[in-house]
Structure 1
Amino acid sequence: MRLLFRWLFRIASALVALVAASVLLAYYFAAQSLPDYDQTLQVSGISAPVEIIRDQSAVPHILGQTDEDVFFGLGYAHAQDRLWQMTIMRRTAQGRLSEVFGNRTLTIDKLLRRLDFYRLAQESVAAQSPAAQAALRAYAAGVNARLKEINDEALGRGAPEMFLFDAPVAPWQPADSLALIKLMALQLSGHLEDEVLRARTMLTLDDPARVADILPDAPGQGIAALPEYADLFPGVKRYAAGTPAPEDPLWPFPRRGLAGASNAWAAAPSRSASGGTLLANDPHLGLTAPSIWYLARLELSSGGVIGGTIPGIPAVLAGRSADLGWGVTSSYLDDQDVHIEKLNPQNPEEYLTPDGYKRFETRPSIIEIKGAAPVTLTLRWTENGPVLPGTLYNLATITPPGHVASLSWTALSDADTTYTAAYNMMRAKSVPEALEAAKDYVAPSQNLTVADHRSIALKTVGAMPRRDPRHQTQGRMPSPGWRPENRWLGILPYAANPEFVDPRGGIVGNTNNKIVERPFPNHVSYLWGDTQRIHRWQKLMQERRVHTRDSFVEAQLDRVSFSARTLLPLVGADLWFTGNAAPEGTPERQRQIALTLLAEWNGEMNEHLPEPLIYAAWMRFLQKRLIEDDLGPLADEFTRMQPLFIERVFRDIDGASAWCDIRQSAPRETCTEIARLALDEALVWIGEKYGTDLATLRWGDAHQATHDHPTLGKVPVLRYFINIHQSTSGGDNTLQRGRTSGEDPDPFRNVHAGAYRGVYDFADPDSSVFIISTGQSGHFLSRHYDDLAQLWRRGEYIPMSLDLDLARAAADGVTRLIPAR
């Protein structure tokens, strides 16, 4: 027995030693790719020495003799800190993920190949201005200099992920950067999905008038009634069931409600306590680890610029110079139209046009797949755009037999000059120069907010399609592609884009709200973002005669929900302080406690309070009860609370209270009954998940910001070290927006937020501040992987200074790139 114990002890010790050695070996190889911020390196591709000063937050301040040398330095810095992120984004845009991940990502590759992003990006290189082309080439050379250094010095393949996934990295090309801009356009465009969903909803509901309830227009002047979708396409199935999108973190198509958001506002000197202009911006994107944003300062010949960049794209996309600040928000411009194309019954390789049947433009595309045989895909294009598969957003459910769907979209341009606009924006010195630079924007369309020392402005930038006034669906639903009135007539002139310069009130701003009321076809959009945040923003702006940098920060971090303040008095009107006394532990008593808490709540979605969780759960279960009997499985497309829908129902706008009646039951239920049942159901769910003591609940326990690593975030054990989860305040409809997932088992996870925040004060520009949601490095062993995450969660910022002495004084390292001899 003693001998057996001795051998078991030896075996266990050996196993422990083996595991420890394996961990140490893995750590050693992974650590080899940690960048050295303090070194001198000889490189080819620059005309004079380049200096990259990393401040204490690892923000690079890049100095060079020429602009090309500075962009070279940015490419090198991006590749040092975010090589894996850049590689995966490029592969996504190219439709080449399956070479690394196998069949898992084949659907993604097929979809991106059909959009043909990379070919369009390659052709768009020649459309850029000469200076922008030079910047793209210099940036690519900087990325490739880092790749050469990795290969020459055996620096752990450049990123730890490279050891887990065999992903050879090809040299960076100028077209790669333009392809990433198109990928961003994809992630910020939601009209395709909305058109399909509107058609599916119309096919599902018995009463077409109810479509305006569940998919309401933004407040303002109404529009003429749309035709019944089934009348446009008689062969389509009346009931439009579908399947959910793949649950893959690499899925690049936006899910409903996550196609872009953001806040931006600016104050003129007359509304500023310091006498200088102010500008605040927080673009909202999906939360990831690392963040999509990367902070950088470029010292160009036109002056220094500093702010948020996206690795792979050589531009400060949101930030400031000494003279100008610029911020972006999603404009929700309707830049996508779905067309249903009729196939020739005698020849399915032809489709109907206004001039008769015509052959598809076709081209084969071969997709290499790791561990499997290659797949050859035939790309098909119509005069309206590429043919899309029926699986995308359940297009097949609204496409009749003998037809296919195609897409018109401004981003599908082979002369896309969006990068030239971004390049020129960095060199602009004034509001007029910025607005002139923005004329080259194509996609993604944005609301551009700009401020110089004297003026402020807001302008919708991006190509605006010209539609025929006779368009059958006004671009709100798929339309017959063979009808000439449904086809685009080109692009409207830049002057037609909405513009607000130096308004009399001294403040401009946008929270993705409706900004203009124009009749079709100059309407800009029928689909807008959150219509609730703008009301809270108006109150915060108007309650002060003048503003400061700190008051703009306060507004950026505001957590009060206008939706909660509006909906609770409506939904609970007949429930407050009613009912008999109930014993402890009964559902009735829990309901009374919950209602008492909500009655005394001011609507602040504070992570430490219980009321936000009770409110959010109540509205979630209420909406579910209202729609599931009418929409059936389609109710799964409406998993987040829709404030305008619930308000319409409880105000009985145009008979919307009909949603309260359960069609399958004999009695006629009232909205008060449904509200009470939903609250009881929400409290049961809360009790099972978070406990029954309502006063001790914390919204932050449910509203966790989930910065997950897109490729390693689900790996057992490792995910606990590389994913960043944080308790956060805010919600779907607060200025400090934390968009919830809407998906079980954690429907209130914060998955989409202001991953970049910046506030610029032009009375004292160097007092400006910014922050991103994780850290500068994409290397999970770096101390800069998550060092900004807690600051971001707490609503803190770091300085945004162009003072080189400050950067040098707190330098984390200085990289000197010397021209190779």
Structure 2
Amino acid sequence: MKKRKILFLVLLCVLVVLLGTFYYLKQSVADFEGEITIDGLEHKVEIYTDAKGIPQIYAQTDSDLYFALGWVHASERLFQMELLRRVGTGRLAELFGKALLDYDKKNLQTAFRIIAEKSAPRLEPADRALTQAYINGINSWIKQANPLPPEFLILQIKPDEWCIEDVLTVAVYQSWFSHALMDRDHTNQWLIDQLGEEVLGLLMDYKDWSPPTVPPERELAHSALPDYAMASASNTWVLAPKKSTTNAAIHASDPHLSISQVPGLWLLAGLHSDEGTHFLGVTAPGLPFMAMGHNGQAAWSFTVGGIDIIDYLEFPRIGELEIQGPDGSIQLEKTEHSIQVRNEESVPYTTFFCHLGAVVEETPEKVRIMKWPGYDKGADEMLHAAYALRKTENFEAFRKTVTQFGALEVNWMYSDKNGNIGYQLGTPIPIREYANTVSVKDGLNPDMHWQGYLPLEETPYAFNPDCGWLASCNNQITETHLPGYYDPYRIIRISEALQAKDRLSPEESGALQYDTQSVVAKRWKDLCVEGLSLNGSQQLAQAVNEWDTTMSPDTKAGAFFQIWWREMTPALFQDDLADQWKKAASLKEVVLSENVEALIDRKDTPDSVENAAAISKLAVERALPLWKNRCWGEICTLTIEHPLSQVKILDKLLHLNRGPFPKHGAHSTLNSNFSSYSHENGTFQANNGPSMRYVLDWSDLDSFVINLPMGQSGNPFSPHYDDFLAYDTREVRWILPFSKEKVQEKAQHKMILMPLETQSH
């Protein structure tokens, strides 16, 4: 009896501690009500928040506006911002241990922080002032926060104060990330090494069955260069008034990034100041950027461009800090790092850098340098363009601004209140005297060095095309080709849909963002049916043949097709590449399209010659036991995970993760679903997809509709941690008004930030 009483008291104490801890951590949720006095503001700032936790900030000055944006970013996403800062500075192992040591080394080697430190002194005074105001807002929130968000308590860390170099580091990393999403240089070089130089021609294959973004009448005189596949995606399109049921331009955007982690990249916000800044759309915590949305005069969005803007040059080494270049010796800058590792001793690490770029490989005899526009175009340029973009009013100014975003590698789409629509490639395009952008170049050869970048007047753009619409889905940009890694599929579907009707409504544009028709299935369904027929699976062959190619969760034919398509990769390439066959996935489309017999015929069957149908039959034999008569929603799921959920007890206590949920779409549908595939059990885990969706109808700025996949807040105790989840899965839209009257009507909360001086009076 006494033991039971003691056990009861112990359990009661544990419960009290847990409840107390939970109550304490709930105090870390962002404030939405009341009046807070803050040192650093000039004037009163009002923040109206709607039922989804979306703030609309009203300030008298731009400085106070950016201060408040920094405050809001920190209040909702401080841990995310801390991780981004640590990624750029190579400090993740300090939090998570040895497993991330190599990742830290890679990021230190890429020199994000070095670029930021070199860029900081070059900031324009006005840009520096606004950036500092944003940073002051971040630091002000951190200073008053008690407690900090739960991740800081769990990891037992306190964030350092933010500085200008931190913001610039995040900016450089994000511009790198936009290209890293799609870069395949190393894989393609490996394929050339394994399969021969003739593979280079396949990698450079121009897909004439996939339309470009820029209409032919706007073609520019570039030489024909490579076209590669990619791994991630985005969609955006604009309709001219003559194509719209509202007789005004319509602008749709859904950038595809990671959807399997929480929080997502974007935070929705409205920003308004008496000095003329007005914006409604998505912001990126850690950056004072108005990334995608509209300012009441013009709207903008972007997709990853896919152009190959990285080359590798190899130089003879003269000494530790000197290499031989085409015009003499080149000095290297050496940086000694001490990487802190959680629960381990610090690890020394040395990196080298020069005006050409970062040293990525070295021996006593040779040095390999990575050439990337980010080493030529500083983060100061990127910030200057970001601040200019917020007041864009016409396409000419827009073109000049978005082509000055440093090394940001994106396609920009434009629309405005006057009914104009436009497209501009923002990527800095290197001028090269060679076509092969994959192989490592001889640094001693001056012809292997870039000759600058294309000037604005020679960059691809389009303005008010006769067809009345423009679209970008990470596809080929022009018919006269630029080297890169492009997705040929989704542009086909959006082109068909936009051409099919004389006019489209905003609702129809929104519905297209959830469209699940598979372009890959439309192209290769017949080959799958042929393989099934050769295998004797007539009933399934009929089902696949009659399937409408939509990837809804209840489709069984679609589920089988997706497994079959993945199994076509080992069926085609395992004989050539053994256990490295996955690296050839990007070759599958072109090998089948062009019927490349040398790669279709299997080397492990010398007595027979296989054609595509025979390979399809082999893939069918692999796919059938994996399929198990399951629907797409059974084999393809989405689980949204918090970084700390790797500690299972934390996930259970704090309810960090969401899912698994059945997932719509596939990699070639407009409702894009990029999934990792298990060849062991035939299942797909969704990773990348729409990171937000918006549709803007210029006839009514108060009807702007927008969604996130999860929620505004990164704090698991916040009511806005996941309150967009049900909306997104049910395809329900959230309306975000622009006029102050409508903002106030929709607001659920109002918070006032007061300057310290005003309070004292």
TM-score under structure 1 length normalisation:
0.85
The 8 Å contact of residues 195 and 338 in structure 1, kept in 2 or not, is answered as no
Residue aligning to 1:249: none
Equivalent position amino acid for 1:411 in 2: G
Indicate whether 1:543 and 2:492 are aligned. no
Shift of the 618–597 alpha-carbon distance from structure 1 to 2, 3 Å rule, reads same
- SS of the equivalent of 1:427 reads coil
Q: 2: CA distance between counterparts of 1:14 and 1:662?
A: 72
Q: State yes or no: 1:732 paired with 2:689.
A: no
Which moves more between the two structures, 557-566 or 363-372?
A: 363-372
**1:683 counterpart = 2:624:** yes
**The residue matched to 1:332 in structure 2 has which SS?**
coil
User: Aligned residue for 1:187?
Assistant: 177
User: C-alpha distance in 2, partners of 1:22/1:701?
Assistant: 40
Question: What SS does the aligned partner of 2:713 have?
Answer: coil
- Aligned-pair CA distance for 1:359: 4.5
Whether 1:741 and 2:676 are equivalent positions in the alignment is yes
Contact preservation (8 Å) 1:622, 1:674? yes
> For residue 426 of structure 1, what is the amino acid of its counterpart?
R
Asked whether 1:200 is paired with 2:217, we answer: no
Q: CA, structure 1 residues 509+195, in 2 after alignment: closer, same or farther (shift >3 Å)?
A: same
Deviation at 1:330, TM superposition (A): 0.9
Letter in 2 for 1:603: T
Change (3 A) 1:47 1:474: same
What is the aligned length?
Answer: 736
Q: Which residue of 2 aligns with 1:265?
A: 237
**Following the alignment from structure 1 to structure 2, what is the Cα–Cα distance between the partners of residues 595 and 378?**
58
SS in 1 for 2:97: helix
Matches for 1:304-453 after TM superposition, within 5 Å: 304-344=278-318, 347=319, 349-389=321-361, 402-413=365-376, 415-416=378-379, 417-453=381-417
* Counterpart contact for 2:333–2:353, Cα < 8 Å: yes
Q: Secondary structure at the match of 1:429?
A: coil
Give the alignment partner of residue 488 of structure 1, picking from 447, 450, 466: 450
What secondary structure does 2:350 align onto?
A: strand
Alignment of 1:229-268 (within 5 A): 257-258=230-231, 260-268=232-240
Change (3 A) 1:220 1:728: closer
Shift in Å, 1:261: 2.2
State whether residues 115 and 412 of structure 1, in contact with CA within 8 Å, keep that contact through their aligned partners in structure 2: no
Give 3-state SS (helix, strand or coil) of 2:184's partner: helix
C-alpha change, 1:75 and 1:575, in structure 2 (3 Å) is same
Out of 675, 685, 698, the residue aligned to residue 631 of structure 2 is 698
What code does the residue aligned with 2:263 have?
P
Whether 1:572 aligns to 2:529 is: yes
CA contact (8 A) 1:50 1:64 kept: yes
After TM superposition, give the deviation of residue 293 of structure 1 in Å. 0.7
State the secondary structure of the residue aligned to 2:129: helix
Structure 2: distance between partners of 1:718 and 1:170: 25
Partner in structure 2 of residue 690 of structure 1: none
In the alignment, what sits opposite 2:714? 778
Q: Structure 1 counterpart of 2:413, which letter? A: T
Give the corresponding residue for 1:562. Answer: 519
CA shift, 1:715, in A, is: 1.6
Shift of 1:196: 1.6
Q: Which runs of 5+ in 1 are unaligned?
A: 1-5, 227-255, 391-399, 580-587, 688-693
1:618 corresponds in structure 2 to 564
Deviation digits for residues 259-279 of structure 1 (CA, Å, limit 9, x no counterpart): x52111111111111111111
Give deviations 1:345-367, integer Å, cap 9, x for gaps. Answer: xx455433113554433232332
Q: Secondary structure at the match of 1:476?
A: coil
The one-letter code of the counterpart of 1:723 is N
Identity, % of aligned positions: 25
Note closer, same or farther for the CA distance 1:601–1:40 as it changes in structure 2 (3 Å cut): same
Q: Is the 8 A contact 1:177 1:312 kept in 2?
A: yes
Q: Which amino acid aligns with 1:283?
A: P
C-alpha distance in 2, partners of 1:224/1:816?
Answer: 57
Which one-letter code corresponds to 2:658 in the other structure? I
TM-score, normalising length: structure 2: 0.91
For 1:192 and 1:572, the matched residues in 2 are separated by 31
Letter in 2 for 1:99: E
Taking structure 1 as reference, are residues 389 and 700 closer, same or farther at Cα in structure 2, changes over 3 Å only?
Answer: farther
Shift of 1:316: 1.6
Shift of 1:650: 4.0
Residue in 2 that maps onto 1:712: 644
Deviation of 1:809 after TM superposition, in Å, equals 2.9
Q: Secondary structure at the match of 1:265?
A: strand
Give 1:506's aligned residue. Answer: 468
Per the alignment, residue 82 of structure 2 pairs with 87
**CA contact under 8 A between 1:144 and 1:172: conserved in structure 2?**
yes
**Residue 360 and residue 123 in structure 1: after superposition, are their counterparts in 2 closer, same or farther (change >3 A)?**
closer
Q: Distance in 2 between matches of 1:420 and 1:305?
A: 17
Aligned to 2:656: 722
Partner in structure 2 of residue 163 of structure 1? 153
Please report how far the alpha carbon of residue 768 of structure 1 lies from its aligned counterpart in structure 2 after TM superposition: 1.8
The CA deviation string for residues 587-621 of structure 1, in whole angstroms up to 9 with x for no partner, is x5xx3333222111111011222222111101111
Cα distance between partner residues in 2 of 1:462 and 1:646: 28
Verify the 8 A CA contact 2:674 2:686 in the aligned structure 1: yes
Distance 1:217 1:53 in 2: 50
- 8 Å CA contact 1:42–1:817 kept in 2: the answer is yes
Change (3 A) 1:214 1:526: closer
What do the CA deviations read for 1:371-398 (whole angstroms, capped 9, x no partner)? 33333322212453111148xxxxxxxx
1:209 to 195, 198, 201: 198
Q: AA paired with 1:433?
A: A
Alpha carbons 1:86, 1:312 under 8 Å: kept:
yes
Q: CA deviation at 1:290?
A: 0.9
1:96 aligns with 2:59: no
1:455 matched to 2:420? yes
What's the secondary structure of 1:748's corresponding residue? strand
What is the letter of the counterpart of residue 511 of structure 1?
Answer: C
Instruction: Give the counterpart letter for 1:722 in structure 2.
Output: L
Distance in 1, Cα, partners of 2:190 & 2:608? 29
- Cα–Cα, structure 1 residues 7 and 119, in superposed 2: closer, same or farther, change >3 Å? same
Q: How far is 1:18 from its partner?
A: 4.8
Structure 2: distance between partners of 1:462 and 1:51: 37
